[in-house]
Amino acid sequence: MKPLLLPLLLLSLSLPLLGQETAIDSLVHLGIEHHDAGAYEKAITFYRQALTIDPNAEIVLYELAISLAQTGAHYEAIEYCDKLIDRGDKYAILAYNTKGSCLNDLGKTEEAIDVFLEGIEKEDEFHLLYYNLGLAYRNLEEYEEAKEAFLIALDLNPQHGGSHLNLGRTMMNLNRRVESLLSLYYFLFIETDTERAEWAYNAIQLQLSDATARQFDPKDPFSSTDMILNEIARHNLEFDRIGDMEIFIRTTGAFFTDLGDQQKKNKEAGLYWEFYIPFFSAMASAAYTDAFCHYISHSFNNSSEEWLRRNSTKVKLFNDWLQWQ
C-alpha cells in the first residue's frame, strides 16, 4: 500500500486549489453575466469577491478593470491594468487597450495614444488597439492618422463594425465622400438597428443628396465617381418625383456600378479596391441593390420593412448570394 501514499498526498494537496479555481470561475461567470446586462456595480462585487480568494487572478483583474471603466472609475481601472501590463502575460495586451481607452475617456488623449502605440509594439496584430488608437486621433482631429489606424484595424479584422463606422466618419471629415460612403454602407450591412446605425444611415443620405460644387482632382481615382454622384444629386433635386426610397435605390445602384467600372480601369490596391468595391459592384451586377437598400433601411423606414416581407423570395436569394461572397 505504501506506493499509493504519494499520489494520495498529491491529490489531497491539489483539492483545495481545484476548489479555489472553481469558486473563482463561478464568480467570474456571474460577474460577466451582470456586466453584459449592464449591471456593472454588481459585476464589480463578484470580481472583488474573487480577488479575496486569489488577489493575482489575471482574468479577475482584467474583468474588474473593464467593469470599473464602465462605471467611470477610470483611475482604479488603470491601476488594475498596470498590474497586468507589469506581468506581461496574455492579458497585458488587453490591459493596454483598456488603459488607453480609460485615458482617452479622461481627456488624456495624448497619453492614451502613447499607451496604444506601446501596446502595438508588443503585439501588432490586435485590431482593437488600432481601432482605439484611431478614436484617440479623432479626438485630436488628426484625421489622416485616424484613417490609417482604422485601415489597419480592418485589415486585421474586416468584420469589425466600429472600424467601418469610424473610418466612414473620418473620411467624411476629410471630405472624401466616395470612401466615406463605402465604409458606411458596409457598416450598415453589419449593423442595422442601433443608434449609431441610424447616424450612419442619415450620413449616407446627407452625402448622396449633396449637390454642392466640389473640386475634383483628375489624379484621384475616385473623382469621376464623385462627379457622377454630384450630377445624380442635382438631377434628383431638380427633376425626380419618384419617392425617396426609389431615389436611394437608383443612386446606390449607379454608385456601385460606376465603382465596378472604375475598378476595371484602375489597378489600385487596398481596402476600398480589394474589399468594398468588389463586394458592392458584384451586388449591383447580380441585381440585389434593391434588397440591400431595403435591408439597411428597414429599421428607419416602415415601407422597407413591408418590402422585405412582400419580397421574401428575393430576400432569400440575396441571402443565398451572400453565402457565396
Q: What is the dihedral of CA 88, 89, 95, 100, to 10 degrees?
A: 30
Q: 193, 304 in Cβ contact below 8 A?
A: no
Helix (H) or strand (E) holding 250, with range, is helix 244-265
Is residue 177 domain-shared with residue 293, that is, in the same domain? yes
250 within some domain: yes
Per-residue CA distances from 247 to 25, 69, 136, 137, 177 (Å) = 55, 44, 37, 36, 18
pLDDT at 242 over 80: no
Tell me if 193 is assigned to some domain.
yes
Q: Is residue 9 part of a domain?
A: no
Q: What 3-state DSSP class applies to 212? A: coil
Asked if residue 267 is part of any domain, the answer here is yes
The CATH number for 111's domain is: 1.25.40.10
Last residue of a domain, one of 124, 144, 169: 124
Q: Assign 187 to helix, strand or coil.
A: helix
Segment among 12-26, 158-172, 215-229 with least mean pLDDT: 12-26
Residues 115 and 182 in one domain: no
0.85 exceeded by pTM: yes
**Same domain as 165, residue 102:** no
pLDDT value of residue 215: 78
Taking only the tens place, the pLDDT of each residue in 215-235 is 778 788 899 899 999 999 888
Q: Indicate whether 194 and 298 sit together in one domain.
A: yes
| Separation between Cα atoms, residue 113 and residue 216, nearest integer Å | 34
How far apart, in Å, are the Cα atoms of 157 and each of 123, 164, 165?
15, 10, 13
Does residue 296 share a domain with residue 254?
yes
| Range 115-146 burial, b when 16+ CB lie within 10 A, else e | bbeebbeeeeebbbbbbbbbbbbbbeebbebb
In total, the chain counts a number of residues equal to: 325
Is the predicted pLDDT of residue 11 greater than 50, yes or no? no
Residue 186: alpha-carbon gap to chain centroid: 11
Identify whether residues 297 and 181 lie together within a single domain: yes
pLDDT for the residue numbered 7 = 54
What is the count of structural domains for the chain?
2
Residue 77's domain comprises: 26-124
The CA-CA-CA angle for residues 301, 305, 306, to 5°, reads: 115
Q: Report yes or no on 149 lying in a domain.
A: no
In sign, the C-alpha dihedral spanning 68, 72, 74, 76 is negative
Contacts of 268 (CB under 8 A, 6+ apart): 221
Per-chain mean pLDDT for the chain:
90
Q: Is 243 exposed, middle or buried (0-12, 13-18, 19+ CB in 10 A)?
A: exposed
| Same domain as 161, residue 107 | no
Per-residue pLDDT tens over the stretch 58-108: 999 999 999 999 999 999 999 999 999 999 888 999 999 999 999 999 999
Q: Among residues 75, 100, 124, which one ends one of the domains?
A: 124
Amino acid occupying residue 258? D
